[in-house]
A and B are shown apart, each in its own frame.
Chain A
C-alpha cells in the first residue's frame, strides 16, 4: 500500500493567489482528516470527512478555506485568497473508520505564502 499521498509536497505562492492541496487516502479507509501544523499553534485539525461527507469543519480558520471530497479516493483543501499567515505544513490523514483515532498521515504539503 502506498499510504496517504499528498501533492504538491512543497508550494510557494504569493499573497492573494489561490492554492489547492490534494490528498489521496489509503484505499478502503472511510475517514479523511486535514490538519495544519505551525510552530506557534502545533498540529490543528481543520476538518474531517466520513464516507465523503464533511462531519466537523469547526477547525477551518475562515471562509477563505474550503475542503471537498468528491469521491472516496480524493480530497482537496483550497485557500482563496492565500495570506502569509497561512504558511504552514498541511497534513492529510485517513482512518479505517470514524470511531478510531488510528490515523495514517501523509507526508504533508509545506506551503509558503509570500
Chain B
C-alpha cells in the first residue's frame, strides 16, 4: 500500500499557481519524497524530489513541512499542458516503489 495520501482531483485556472498537497505522516527520517506526473497515454515523468529542505527546479517547487509529514508540489504558472495525474511517493534504498492513485489535476482555460 502507498504510504502517501493525496486528494483524488483538483482544478486550477491557467496561469495560476497549482498547489498539490501530499500527506506522508508515516515517512521515516531517511526517506525521500518524490513527485511524478503522468500525462494521458504517456509514461510517468519525474518532476522533483526532496528530503528535508524545499527544492526548486525548472518544472516545479517542493515545499516539505518541518515535521516532514506533508509536502506541497507547486507549479507556479500552470498551463493546459500541465493537466495530468500527479503522484507523490516516498521511500528509500531497496524498498518497493509504490504509486498510489495520485491527484488528477485539470488546468482550465
Question: Which residues on A are within 8 Å of B, measured CB to CB?
Answer: 4, 33, 42-43, 45, 48, 55-56, 58-59, 91, 93, 98-99, 101-108
Contact = CB atoms under 8 A, between A and B. Distances in A.
Interface stretch (B12-20, B44-52, B66-74, B76-84): B44-52
29 contacts: A4-B43, A42-B99, A42-B100, A42-B101, A43-B38, A43-B44, A43-B87, A43-B99, A45-B96, A45-B97, A45-B98, A55-B94, A56-B94, A101-B32, A101-B49, A101-B97, A102-B46, A102-B49, A103-B44, A103-B46, A103-B97, A104-B46, A105-B43, A105-B44, A105-B45, A107-B42, A107-B43, A108-B42, A108-B43
A102 B48 CA distance: 8
Given A48-B97, A55-B94, 7 more contacts: A43-B87, A43-B99, A56-B94, A99-B93, A101-B32, A101-B34, A107-B42
B contact residues, range: 20 to 34
A59 B96 contact: yes
Interface in B29-61: 32, 34, 38, 42-46, 49
B43 A106 contact: yes
A49 to B, nearest CB: 13
A59 B98 CA distance: 11
Contacts, number: 46
Nearest to B45: A105
Contacts of A43: 38, 44, 87, 99
B39 to A, nearest CB: 11
Contacts of A45: 96-98
A100 to B, nearest CB: 8
- From A33, A103, A107, name the one whose CB has the most chain B CB atoms within 10 angstroms: A103
